Structure 1
């Protein structure tokens, strides 16, 4: 199992002069530092962080992981950053957006699955969130921000089996520069590559996009 953390973006909606993955939680850890720690505690030994915006700040604070650089981070989105992170990987891959704060149980649950998985929160389904729908067999049939009557929110952590990593890379290569990686998952689903949701609603998990998200994260992870 390898983990890829997507931390290349500018994070303009949060309005910080530094990468938002370096935002410090009440516990004293950065968001990224907490992610790295929890991955290692769960048994992930190879962690790849995809960087772009002010990459040196991230690399200096967290020197003990591997790095991939997205040189066009300023005109691309997470689909292309994930494509950078997947290069030459031949193992099961767990990946997460670099602004997601989560409990240990989230990563443990995702790692324990034996299939391609999208971690979801069935309790949340706002306009801004990435939403999903499933069929009668519990497989995901659609995943995007524009879905109406979604079954819940895709929280930004996912896993693909080693056998499907090449298909994921091909799907991401098809994406437009500004597409989120979920667009690549849609291409895979259309090509009959199965993904199932994993309900992590019982755990704390939040993606920090806006100042109100950061305020909520500080309260949620106060200790």
Structure 2
């Protein structure tokens, strides 16, 4: 299938303490975080998958490393959060559904293989891990029909964590764009999803990947954990 994918890589990543964008951090296997993302996307969806990367901080370093990708610029990368980066990307990707991921996620390539069925159904989803629920991570709850009800870092009684790999269907895309336009500059994109669920009736599946690995690299210890799962 030809799929539109987005990588959010505009942030400065100051918590990791690197001069380059986090997505260009080299892993133990010699690849950068973004390189393994590109390879995972191509493995699941073929060489014609369209990859659009949202860049901001030191954008030229990412563009030079991956000259064949498409790029959207978030010039306000130091004043905005992922909600506004995703908004820019969705506005640039036409009418179809979009798979997107945070640019700091090191993940098992089988996750995207598992996502194919939902994408073919054009079913919006967030990828989740039910094996742990940390206070500082984005958590979720489900409604009576098994779809996502709440999705934020402040969720009480969360049943798992969001991994940072998500899909918005073609039918839900307009509603999500409208909510991302509305949210605060410093909101995460999950706030837009929550509002689209509550106010637009967006139905978001929770795709469980607890048996596979996915590590968001925010701190040095996260990078160590990512390298361990790659070993």
TM-score range, shorter chain: over 0.9
2:95 match: 90
- The alpha-carbon deviation at position 204 of structure 1 amounts to 1.1
1:217 match: 226
- The alpha-carbon deviation at position 111 of structure 1 amounts to 2.8
Count residues with an aligned counterpart: 222
1:25 match: 27
- The alpha-carbon deviation at position 108 of structure 1 amounts to 1.6
- The alpha-carbon deviation at position 152 of structure 1 amounts to 0.2
Gaps of 5+ in 2: none
Gaps of 5+ in 1: none
Distance 1:148 1:12 in 2: 28
Structure 2 counterparts to residues 40-55 of structure 1, below 5 A: 40-43=42-45, 45-55=49-59
Distance 1:20 1:14 in 2: 7
2:40 match: 38
Distance 1:138 1:216 in 2: 31
How does the TM-score come out when normalised to structure 1? 0.97
1:66 match: 70
Which of 76, 80, 88 in structure 2 is aligned with 1:76? 80
How does the TM-score come out when normalised to structure 2? 0.94
Aligned partners of 1:5 and 1:96 also within 8 Å: yes
Distance 1:16 1:69 in 2: 21
